[in-house]
Amino acid sequence: MKKLVAGNWKMNLLPSQVSDYSKSFLAEVGKLDGVDLLLCPSDTALPAAVEAFRNSRVRVGAQNMHSTRSGAFTGETSGEMLADIGVTHVLLGHSERRHVFGEDDELIYAKLVLAHKLGLKPILCVGEKQEQRESGSTEQVLREQFEGSLGRVSNELLAATIVAYEPVWAIGTGLTATPEIAQQAHRFLRSLLGEKLGEAASTVPILYGGSVKPANAAELMSQPDIDGVLVGGASLKPDSFAAIAKATL
């Protein structure tokens, strides 16, 4: 499968900055056809991003969505609203959603099922905290998050999901998991997929996220079970995000 390089702008960049970003980024990567590209801007920048990347190789995703289609949920955005403007992917269960906004596996499961129903491709994020790694419970945490949000999903939907391993201690800290540590977690996630999907587990992309930069992207993606990256800080500048995309080739 082609590598997937995904950017998560988090709560950064304005709608008015999207056009300049897209011009610089597309000038660098517009012709790279060996890699799949995705950008997840904030909700207000989504329409500008969908417009700027129309007819390009870059897909546009959201960073979150509500677990129901519509209703009295002041301040929330529904998946239907995202799909309606041309968004194709949605991040779910990002560690900031889990640990800053208190989302649990049950809620993430509801969002994931709805995203599939609406034709949005979910990217399910999982990852352990520093103290969980230090106490040796990384695999137990990954299994709990995986089963809590994917355990009851049909094999068909599971096979159409993207998984992202994002160790919480590596996000925004400058501490990247070594390629070996990342590969070990990815192999474990692949085995969890394999328990349900058998051979087809190899077709589900598992992305690595956590302080990915142009300097470490190629080595991370050379690992057998790392199918791409989810990039926060280094996706905010088109040149560094483009350098990461080129590191796949």
Smallest distance from the beta carbon of 212 to ligand PGA, in angstroms? 5
Residue 124 binds ligand PGA (CB under 6 A): no
By CB under 6 A, the residues from 8 to 27 that bind ligand PGA are 8
At 62, is the secondary structure helix, strand, or coil? strand
The kind and range of the H/E element at 150 are: helix 138-150
Residue 41 binds ligand PGA (CB under 6 A): no
- List alpha helices for 88-236, DSSP H: 95-99, 105-117, 130-134, 138-150, 155-159, 179-197, 214-221
What's the rounded Cα separation, in Å, for the pair 209 and 31?
25
Residue 224 binds ligand PGA (CB under 6 A): no
Size, binding site for ligand PGA by CB under 6 A: 13
Residue 230 binds ligand PGA (CB under 6 A): yes
Binding map of ligand PGA across residues 144-183, x = CB under 6 A, - = no contact: ----------------------x----xx-----------
Strand-pairing partners, residue 206, are 163
Residue 205 binds ligand PGA (CB under 6 A): no
Cα–chain center distance at 246:
18
Among 64, 78, 161, 211, binds ligand PGA (CB under 6 A): 211
Residue 231 binds ligand PGA (CB under 6 A): yes
Find, among 210, 136, 207, the residue nearest to 169 by Cα.
Answer: 210
What are the counts of helices (DSSP H) followed by strands (DSSP E) for the chain?
11, 8
Would you say 185 or 200 has its CB closer to ligand PGA? 185
- Contact call for residues 133 and 94 (beta carbons, < 8 A): no
Cα first-last separation, the chain: 13
Residue 103 binds ligand PGA (CB under 6 A): no
Q: Burial-class residue 17 by CB neighbours within 10 Å (0-12, 13-18, 19+).
A: middle
């483009």: which residue's tokens? Answer: 242
Residue 209 binds ligand PGA (CB under 6 A): yes
The kind and range of the H/E element at 228 are: strand 228-231
Task: Report the catalytic residues.
Answer: 94, 166
Smallest distance from the beta carbon of 83 to ligand PGA, in angstroms? 22
- Closest residue to ligand PGA, based on beta-carbon distance: 232
Q: Which stretch binds ligand PGA (CB under 6 A): 43-51, 78-86, 184-192, 207-215?
A: 207-215
Residues that bind ligand PGA (CB under 6 A): 8, 166, 171-172, 209-212, 230-234
